[in-house]
Chain A
Amino acid sequence: MIDEETGATIPVAPDRPISDEIAISVQELDITYRTTFEKKPTLKQAIVRLGRGKRSVKTVEALKNVSFEVNRGSVLGIVGHNGAGKSTLMRAIAGIVPPTNGRIEVVGRTSTLLSLGVGFNRALTGRENVILGGLAAGLTKDELEDRYERIAEFAGLGDFIDMPMNTYSSGMGARLAFSVAVHLDPDILLIDEALSTGDAVFKEKATERMQELVDNSSTMLLISHALRTIINMSTECIWLDHGKLMMRGNPEEVVDAYTEFVHVKKTSATMNDM
């Protein structure tokens, strides 16, 4: 499908019956964690604060009693304001953040594409980051060797692949991250705001690849503030507000309810980026 405004291709929801098998089951999930106000907590500040009798720790109730199921092959869009718990939900499904209460069952291998990308150590080359990311995700060396060439070729970074990642532009980093995530042959792909990165050529390629994954009945979870993407790509949609599941259903209806709730008109600006 072609976006009238930008002329870019938007992947569309798969036109096929969705399997009855459950891929992800989230049951009464609560996630509470404690974190600090400070960007970089230090012992020095802790001592200073002790003198003043202040505490810097706050408890965040990121998700409250969230339950839903995702069938294999469906694309679940997730909408909600900033801090609604969307990313925490993704992290929980990926197994990065354990539940405080409740239970999550995931059938198959997940691959995460959370907004921050793959390059964790910018002093290392793109190649090293790909290999290390893959090994950490549980792939064997042989599996990675099989995939490495495809990943590098798809990212299209040329000689940059063997350069330290601190020489990359942010778009290049995102391309590599996307390439890794989709080439791990995931059963479940978790995408957090990653579609807006990269240049036009890469976007086209990424879209094609996503469509391929969707058509091959991979399950996909998609967080995006571009509501048009959610409507077009998802087969189903959930709306989170302050950690609570507000609504689940047809993407168009959920997005309508969400936009009405936050009192924004469905202008082209909000549909593309909200």
Chain B
Amino acid sequence: MTNPVPTETRPVQVFLPHRAGLPRLVPYFSNLWKRRHFAVELSRASMRSAHTNTFFGQFWLVIGPALNAGVYFLLVSVIRGGNAGPDFFMHLLAGLFAFNFIQAVMSNGATSVTKGGNLVLNTAFPLLLLPFSALRTAFFRFVPSLIILLGFFIYFDYFGAQSQACDAVTGVCEELNTIHFTPIMFMAIPALLLIFIFAAGLSALMASVQIYFRDTTQLLPYATRIWLYLSPVLYYADQMKPWMLKLEILNPLYPLLGIWSETLVEGTIPPLTWWLGSAAWAFGSLFIGVFFFMSREREFAVRI
């Protein structure tokens, strides 16, 4: 037993009613930062317990998304026919992987607080760490799928260059493969960052919704599947019907996945409006998610 700490060094904690339903922000966020290691350790531990760190666990993280992409490729390119070039294939792959990441963040985030059980009941800490930890886990599970993308990039860049379609009459040849490494690809990094920020907000939002409606996780797969079909993943944005295109102003994934796919796959710089739209959705989601979570947080310990 260590001797009791001298009085001067004992921290004085004062608990007061929340102002306008929110805890005091400065201490809240400073606590959040101080205890960030908890979120990291929790994410690590849950990945360990899911055997993500074993060889076959890692292997599955690569194979799973690849199979998933294969299924959709079969559906939209082979069965339905139409887009089948390498550029569409890469658009599909990149879009699906990013979408899967968002989907995983939503479902992991949703259960993050309800699964916190005794810890939430017995320990005073900023609960926002829980959905953020889920975000970290989902991100580390997403990273291996980037390796698949890289593999295909190398393949198409190296072998794809020879495939040309030459007009028999004019003799003009057109290169079928547009997949090449370009410096523009680096702009996919800020695009991914915006997707990450957007997902962080969703994670916190879903975690709070799950407290009130425990069947959220059961309903989510249906909602996300519709969201996938409404987003330019399985097709290009310019293939959308005009009425759908009008509605896309309401779809955060339209600009977010748009800038991701354009910079990464098509090697073109998306218009500024897409960037601004993406940033607005990303930070809007983070702001709404975090503040909704914090405004409800005081109820969590009595509701779970």
Task: Using CB atoms and an 8 Å cutoff, list the residues of chain A in contact with chain B.
Answer: 21, 33-36, 40-44, 46, 60, 91-92, 94-110, 112, 114, 116-121, 123-124, 128, 131-133, 135-138, 140-141, 164, 185, 187, 212-213, 216-218
Contacts and interface: CB of A to CB of B under 8 A. Distances in A.
B10 A136 contact: no
Interface of B: 1-5, 7, 10-18, 23, 31, 34-35, 37-38, 41-42, 45-46, 48-49, 115-125, 129, 212-216, 219, 298-299, 301-303
Contacts of A213: 1
A238 B298 CA distance: 26
Contact of B41 (A34, A110, A116, A132): A132
A41 B4 contact: no
Contacts of B219: 43
A173 B299 CA distance: 26
Nearest to B303: A35
A105 B37 contact: no
Contacts of B49: 123-124, 128, 164
A95 B12 CA distance: 12
Contacts of B42: 132
Contacts of B10: 107-109, 187
- Which of A97, A105, A135 has most chain B Cβ within 10 Å? A135
A124 B45 contact: yes
A155 B60 CA distance: 37
A97 B35 contact: no
Contact of A106 (B1, B12, B35, B303): B12
A118 B116 CA distance: 11
27 contacts: A33-B299, A41-B214, A42-B213, A43-B213, A46-B213, A92-B15, A96-B121, A96-B123, A98-B15, A100-B17, A102-B17, A104-B14, A104-B15, A105-B13, A107-B11, A107-B12, A107-B13, A114-B122, A117-B118, A120-B117, A121-B46, A121-B115, A121-B117, A128-B49, A137-B125, A213-B1, A218-B4
